[in-house]
Each structure stands twice: as structure tokens, then as C-alpha cells.
């Protein structure tokens, strides 16, 4: 008799494993490191080529999908170049995004209300102030 079918202790399945909660994949780490090593905007194809040069076999479709997920997570910005979307690592300094709802083109902007956000929160006695401002619309090429 083996113990492979032993029931788990009660509650054991409720503890999430780090791999489930963090949802980081090998592909995501690889793509992040390619973008981190480049100051340039890169297309999915260019990132795919770079990974191939490094001996990493990641399919182009996977690169596309992973970049889209990383953009949603705010890890990368998408920039439209002609018909194509290219990506860059999101700036490390504080900024906001103006994003096209149609093609995903993203421009990094500073909001004119940084001080206002601080002062209105301080008036109400709040500390540790953070704010999130994301603006979306249709870019000139999508109108």
C-alpha cells in the first residue's frame, strides 16, 4: 500500500503557493530582463530575436501574449510605431499614462495635480498619500 492517495490535512489546500499567487513565469522574467537591458523601444519581434540569440526558445505568440499581460500589469508601456506596437520598460520615476483604447499606444505624462493630491489629502489628515491617474482615449491614428 502506498500513501500517494492520502487525504491532505484539513485546510492544506487553502494555503496558496507562491507560484500561484505571484503568477510570474519564466517567459515574463526573460522578457523583463531583455527590456531592462535596453534603453530602446522594442517590438515583439525584436524581443523574440534577442531571446533567440540568447538561446532561449520562446515562441513569438508567447512573447506577444506575455507583453500584453505585462502592459496590463503596468510593467511595460506600449508605444505605437506605424502599424506595430513596441514596448519599453515603464519609467522608474513617477508618471501617469495616456493610453489609446483602440491600439494600446501609451504616452507617459506628468499630471498637473501632484501637489493638489498631496494637499487635499493632508487637509483631511491623511498621510502616506498615493494616487493613481490613468487617462485613455483615441490617439490621432485611431480617430
Separation in Å, CA 120 to CA 72, 78, 109, 131: 29, 32, 21, 12
Q: Which of 62, 102, 107, 121 binds Zn ion (CB under 5 A)?
A: 102
Under DSSP, the state recorded for 8 is: P
Does position 108 bind Zn ion by CB under 5 A?
A: yes
Interacting span for Zn ion (CB under 5 A) from 24-32, 39-47, 64-72, 76-84: 76-84
CB proximity list for 142: less than 8 A, separation 6 or greater: 100, 102, 103, 105
Does position 56 bind Zn ion by CB under 5 A?
A: no
Looking at the Cβ atoms of 30 and 100, the one nearer to Zn ion is 100
Distance, CA of 40 to CA of 55 (rounded, Å):
21
Does position 86 bind Zn ion by CB under 5 A?
A: no
CB of 138 to Zn ion, least distance (A): 6
Q: Exposure string (b/e) for 79-112, b if CB count within 10 Å is 16 or more?
A: bbeeeebbbbbbeeeeebbbbbeebbbbeeeeee
Does position 100 bind Zn ion by CB under 5 A?
A: yes
Q: Which of 27, 70, 77, 99 binds Zn ion (CB under 5 A)?
A: 77
CB of 58 to Zn ion, least distance (A): 23
Does position 142 bind Zn ion by CB under 5 A?
A: yes
Interacting span for Zn ion (CB under 5 A) from 28-36, 46-54, 61-69, 104-112: 104-112
How many residues are there in the chain?
143
Q: Which residues bind Zn ion (CB under 5 A)?
A: 77, 90, 100, 102-103, 105, 108, 111, 114, 139, 142
Amino acid at each position: 500500500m502506498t500513501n500517494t492517495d492520502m487525504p491532505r490535512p484539513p485546510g492544506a489546500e487553502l494555503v496558496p503557493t507562491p507560484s500561484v499567487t505571484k503568477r510570474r513565469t519564466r517567459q515574463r522574467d526573460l522578457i523583463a530582463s531583455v527590456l531592462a537591458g535596453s534603453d530602446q523601444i522594442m517590438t515583439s519581434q525584436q524581443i523574440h530575436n534577442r531571446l533567440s540569440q540568447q538561446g532561449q526558445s520562446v515562441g513569438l505568440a508567447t512573447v506577444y501574449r506575455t507583453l500584453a499581460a505585462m502592459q496590463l500589469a503596468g510593467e511595460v508601456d506600449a508605444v505605437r510605431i506605424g502599424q506595430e506596437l513596441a514596448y519599453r520598460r515603464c519609467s522608474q520615476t513617477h508618471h501617469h499614462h495616456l493610453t489609446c483604447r483602440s491600439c494600446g499606444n501609451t504616452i507617459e505624462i506628468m499630471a498637473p495635480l501632484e501637489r493638489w493630491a498631496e494637499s487635499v489629502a493632508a487637509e483631511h489628515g491623511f498621510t502616506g498619500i498615493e494616487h493613481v491617474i490613468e487617462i485613455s482615449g483615441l490617439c490621432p491614428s485611431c480617430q
